[in-house]
Amino acid sequence: MELRQLYYFVKVARKEHVTQAAEELHVAQSAVSRQIHQLEEELGVKLFVQKGRNLQLTPVGALFLKRAEVILADLERAVIEIHEFLDPEKGEIRLGFPHSLGISLIPQVVASFRKLHPNVKFRFKQGMYPSLIRDLIKGDIDLAFISPFPKEHEQVCGKILLTEELYAILPPGHPLSEEKAIELHQLQEETFVLFSEGYSLRPIVWEACLQAGFEPKIGFEGEETDTIRGLVAAGMGVSLLPELALHHTGPLQPAKVRISEPSVTRTIGLIHRSNEKLPLVAKVFHSFLLRYFHHEDKEV
């Protein structure tokens, strides 16, 4: 069995399509098909079955995928550890984060870190709350910024870095746009622009509205802070966004108003796998982040 066969198998399993896997691997489709066929012959089982135009893992294929992902993740970590041993300042940090933090927070902290460690590389992965947890457990990333911070989880641990206030954002010229602060119930007759299901900010906004005594009327949904902000600025409704998502310049911007009642906040934390030590370069970055956010490192 060759490592290339495992790489190809995992890629096809994730894409559920040989052609798409081949395109991402930058090899011929026939080469991928041949390696999968050889792997199946060596194992003596069928790993995939055809389902329409896609491929679907067989039960034994799904079992083999879990083991193959662990093997490849361990191999990748081993390579990283060797490079770090030779020169820790040339290691790679695999970092996950939600889209809303990619606007200003992640660029700021990475830029600050690279002033001290200019040769360290980063591999970034954006995702929603469930996918960040999943990618961390699988070993695809070593550290993740996450919001809200998970209260209890057997496989991940970490620290809260900051608690961030959410603001009401209103179309320019809205009757409340010039107020210094409003109570959330003042927006109960408005149409809301919210994140789609699965995004962590959606339940925060929803629960805040319920706490204020009303259920928000949803007119539009989006998947990025830029979309939410832009739709509100265009007069399509109102919304709530964290301050870090409002660091943006441009000709069309919503009004930002503080919410006095109820207090609406979100926690932002830094997490890692609880059952293993961080790679050396990731540990250095972890310690830097705790200092950056005025925390003491007591875990890693």
**Tens place of pLDDT for every residue, the chain, 300 residues?**
788 899 999 999 999 999 999 998 899 999 999 999 999 999 999 999 988 888 999 999 999 999 999 899 888 878 877 776 666 677 889 999 998 898 889 999 999 999 999 989 999 999 999 999 999 998 899 999 999 998 878 899 999 999 999 999 999 999 999 999 999 999 999 999 999 988 889 999 999 999 999 999 999 999 888 899 999 999 999 999 998 888 766 678 899 999 999 999 999 999 999 988 888 889 999 999 999 998 544 444
* Cα–Cα distance for residue pair 144/95, rounded to 1 Å: 6
Please tell me the predicted confidence (pLDDT) of residue 296: 44
* Cα–Cα distance for residue pair 207/144, rounded to 1 Å: 25
Please tell me the predicted confidence (pLDDT) of residue 193: 97
Range(s) within the chain of domains with CATH label 3.40.190.10? 87-161+268-292, 163-266
Range(s) within the chain of domains with CATH label 1.10.10.10? 3-72
Its sign, for the CA torsion 292, 295, 296, 300, is: negative
Please tell me the predicted confidence (pLDDT) of residue 298: 46
Q: Which CATH class is domain 163-266?
A: alpha beta
| Token pair for 219 | 């007119």
Distance of CA 198 to the CA centre of its chain: 12
* Cα–Cα distance for residue pair 249/227, rounded to 1 Å: 14
Please tell me the predicted confidence (pLDDT) of residue 76: 84
pTM of the model: 0.68
Please tell me the predicted confidence (pLDDT) of residue 249: 64
Q: Which CATH number fits domain 87-161+268-292: 3.20.20.70, 3.40.190.10, 3.10.20.740, 1.10.1040.10?
A: 3.40.190.10
Q: Which CATH class is domain 3-72?
A: mainly alpha
